[in-house]
Every structure is written in C-alpha cells, then in structure tokens.
Copies of this chain bind each other. A is one copy, B any other.
C-alpha cells in the first residue's frame, strides 16, 4: 500500500501474480513458508485451526494489504489463507526479500518504518473499536483518516469498512444516514466528508 511507501521496496522484487477463485486456498497452516503476499484485488481471510478443532479467523486482508509478513521469519505458516472472493495476489519470495535487504540496509530501515507505522495504525483501530457508540466510533475513524479538507477516500466497500471498525453493516449504514441527515457528514461516491460541525 502506497500509504506505507512499501512499494519502493517491493518494486525491487520479482513477484508472481496469482489468481484465486473464491474459496481457494493460497497456503495452508504448517506449509513451509516460501512467500509473502500483497493483495491487488479481492479479499483473503487468514484462519487458524485451533487445538479444539475449531477455526479462528486471524485476520481478513483487503485489497492493498500485505499479509503473512511474519512468515518471513518463520519456517511454517501458522495459519491458512483462503480467498473470500475472487482475488488477484502478488506473491513475493521471502528469500528474495531477505537477500535484497542484506545488501540494502536503507531498505531494511524503510521496512522497519513501514512496520512501526503499521503497528501504530493497528493500535489506533484497536482503540477505536473500544468506543461503544456506533456514531462516535464512526466519527473517530473518519477523524483519524481524513485529510486536511476533512475528507476520507474509501478504497473499500462500506460493508468492509463496517467490518473493519467492528460494526454490523446495517448499523453502519443507518448511522451514516443519520449523520448525513444531521449534516454532520456528506457522502459523494467513495468519499466521506466531515462537515464543520459543532459537535
């Protein structure tokens, strides 16, 4: 995702393009780690089989996201990756990345920066999810993502955004509508704009 300036590092590598049908697996838990991935389009869920026999969703990765980065440092995948919808994915060899990083300490530092940024963002989303009120949660999210013109461009569906901030999509739609009705925000297409509200 360009947001993290990861491109410049990944650009140096020669990825393979993989196309997955809905429900198809990219890798399975305990497979030897060879690659890590970046989603071009689609959606992939990461699932761990627990000792109980139950399955736990570890993460749902959306377009633009990289995943299985931790696999770079382990020998086996600790979860399985299944396409939720038809997906196109770039596959990077972890060995190639490691080799490249050896010779490019700057890139390694860049990657460090990317990761620390990601940690920060995840902690923020985590915190946002602790806000009980749907309305406040939505506003907190927008405020955290908006640019100087108080707008957020959504690179995902409303449904996915609802999931991202931990709301039932119905609740999310309703609350958006509510906020529009009260002229607290405005929607055009894929952008949300926060109006100059006196909260």
Please report A residues at the B interface, Cβ cutoff 8 Å: 50-52, 54, 56-60, 69-70, 72-73, 101-102, 105, 108-109, 111-113, 115-120, 122-127, 129-130, 140, 143-144, 150, 163, 166, 199
Contacts and interface: CB of A to CB of B under 8 A. Distances in A.
19 contacts: A52-B199, A58-B123, A58-B124, A58-B127, A60-B127, A70-B113, A70-B116, A70-B117, A72-B116, A73-B116, A73-B117, A101-B109, A102-B105, A108-B109, A112-B112, A126-B129, A129-B129, A129-B130, A129-B166
Interface residues of A, dominant DSSP: helix
Contacts of A163: 130
A111 B105 CA distance: 13
A81 B143 CA distance: 19
A72 B117 CA distance: 10
A170 B101 CA distance: 48
B199 A126 contact: no
Contacts of A101: 109
Contacts of A50: 143
A125 B126 contact: yes
A120 B150 CA distance: 30
Contacts of A126: 59, 122, 125-126, 129
